[in-house]
Amino acid sequence: MNDTGDRPWMGEAVIAGAAYTVIGAAFALPATHLKFWRLAAWIVSGIVFVMHVGVEHVRLRSARVVAWHAAVGAAIGGFGLAAAAILRRLSEGQPTPRLQGLGFAVWPLVTGIPAFVVALVIATLLARLPQEERKR
């Protein structure tokens, strides 16, 4: 679906989702200073999120469309993180709990719904900026 006549938005959502997955999986690898690496993953993912919202906003889409696209990216990342969690357990020779498969449904919801709300707030605030401020 291409709602503005320019490039398809889904590709950018997939790129953002892949970035969230790589960031979450890579930053979970260091065994030392776990709290630091978790915080670093949140910060880097937050930067990706803000950039995604900004790219969507620059296209002058409505706040709801911007929020939807950002939420899809976050949900794709959540799905990827669920897959990464299962793959990590399998690579370590640990059995996967029966309920871990629910992560494929739960993680996208847990990441996508808050992402929609936050992106909607950000996009609404950005839309209220005077036109001169938006061009900078």
| pLDDT tens-place string over residues 15-74 | 999 999 999 999 988 767 888 999 999 999 999 999 999 999 988 779 999 999 999 999
pLDDT surpasses 80 at 81: yes
Of 60, 58, 70, 83, residue with least CA distance to 12 = 70
Number of domains in the chain: 1
Mean pLDDT of the chain: 87
The answer to the question of residue 70 being in a domain is yes
Q: Residue 33: which residues within 8 A CB-CB, separation 6 or more?
A: none
- Buried b or exposed e, range 87-108, using 16+ CB within 10 angstroms: eeeeeeeeeeeeeeeebeeebb
The answer to the question of residue 134 being in a domain is no
Task: Quote the pLDDT of residue 135.
Answer: 56
Task: Quote the pLDDT of residue 7.
Answer: 63
The answer to the question of residue 109 being in a domain is yes
pLDDT surpasses 80 at 134: no
Structural domain span for residue 98: 10-128
